[in-house]
Amino acid sequence: MENTKQAYAELVIKEGINIQKGQRLVINCPVECADFAKMCAKAAYENGCREVIMRWNDDTIARLKYLYADSDVFDKVDPWDEMFSDKISEEGAAWLAIYAEDPENLKGVDPDRINRFQVSRGKATAKFREREMRNEFQWCVCSVPTVAWSKAVFPQLSEDEAVDKLWEEILKACRADKGDAVSNWRKHSEELKKHVEILNGFNFKSLHYTNSLGTDLHVELPEDHFWAGGDEASAKGVMFSANIPTEEVFTLPKKNGVNGVVYSSRPFCLNGNIIKDFYFVIKDGKIVEAHAKEGEAILKDAISVDEGASYFGEVALVPFDSPISDSGILFLNTLFDENASCHIAFGEAYPCIKGAETMSMEELAERGVNSSMTHEDFMVGTRDLSIIGTTHDGKEIPVFVNGNFAF
């Protein structure tokens, strides 16, 4: 198992980040996952990293802060903190996030505190996020188990068994459980590119989603949009994989071009809370109604952190019969659950528009690229999901039939 974990750390550094000689690497990591961070740091130095900079976090400390800190601390971010994300992204350092939050860590916390902190943090990291969305540096999100997360996924197991089981499932989902993890990953990335090519060939004007949950959603795609999936190139031409694992191909919707109703197909972990059974009504791109059986207040706060939060920024296609989905496990972690299902994000759009590198934020906005301080993926794919694409000359092409690609 230890060797497999080391191979997974190497996969993250070589394929996720693809650390370059002389480049610095920031690792954001829960203190509980320090062993894995050490493996990543070792792999990074072995591959030419100039310096690894650690940014530690902890669920308990975060929860205590939300419960007991002075109220005004949620309205500001210290200037040195803001300067860190600004300067480090300007320098082009790579960024690795090890994401392993207890899905209900902030249950019962005052949503107003969460919301205010999201707004102040969002403003303070605006430049960092813009550079990240434009892939000006390589970045990667991956996960390793913590006790709380593992127990949330496998409540029937003991702590040790739950952690081991979650490790096993993560390694499987990342194709790092057997054989050579790096070559398995490259092969998988090539597979994803096949669907990317077909979708780009059709150059759809719009997509129409329907299923038996009640989803009936029309999504217009911007002119000159492209689909992406698998590894991607940074602005400097360095190939990297932003998510490990990944099963999706994605593009962006036209900001004002989304209409209809969309139902969630899996619980949605948002800001340390779980939102269940929700749906949105969308008119000319804007979410005009949000309803949830559980967590409605948190959901409504999340789509109102700024203007762009109530518009969509991503549409992603994932076959219902994919390895993570086939595992039948609800991971309660967006990185895994979004790769088990077609998903849509509200908030910031990836600028998947030809020539976006040289366009200003204003030009991108004119093309229908949404901008927001948030980006949250929620799951919409079901066994009976149908997606019909319409081309610019009016042809209707099945894209998804019974939850899977039609081609």
Evaluate whether 139 touches 15 at the Cβ level (below 8 Å): no
User: Is the Cβ of residue 345 or residue 352 nearer to Zn ion in the bound state?
Assistant: 345
Residues of the shown chain interacting with Zn ion in the complex, contacts defined by CB under 5 A: 248, 250, 314, 316, 345, 377
> DSSP string covering 244-267, please?
SS---EEE---TT-EEEEEE-SS-
Element spanning 161, H or E = helix 159-173
What are the strands, taking DSSP E only, across 264-339? 268-270, 273-283, 286-294, 312-317
Least Å from the CB of residue 179 to Zn ion: 26
CB of 150 or CB of 215, closer to Zn ion: 215
Which residue in 110, 107, 95 sits closest to 148, CA to CA?
107
Cβ 333 to Zn ion, closest distance in Å? 13
Q: Tell me the three state secondary structure of residue 131.
A: helix
For residue 299, the minimal CB distance to Zn ion (Å) is: 16
Give the nearer residue to Zn ion in terms of CB position, either 245 or 368. Answer: 245
Judged by beta carbon, residue 109 or residue 133, the one nearer Zn ion is 133
**Cβ at position 315, least distance to Zn ion in Å:** 9
Cβ proximity to Zn ion: between 227 and 278 the closer is: 227
Smallest gap from residue 133 Cβ to Zn ion (A): 10
Whose Cβ is closer to Zn ion: residue 39's or residue 142's?
142
Q: Can you list the pairs that 198-202 forms with residues at least 24 positions away whose Cβ atoms lie under 8 Å?
A: 198/407, 199/227, 199/249, 199/251, 199/317, 199/399, 200/226, 200/227, 202/389, 202/391, 202/397
Name the token pair of 154. 């496998």
Residue 17 DSSP code:
I
Smallest separation (angstroms) from Zn ion to the CB of 350: 8
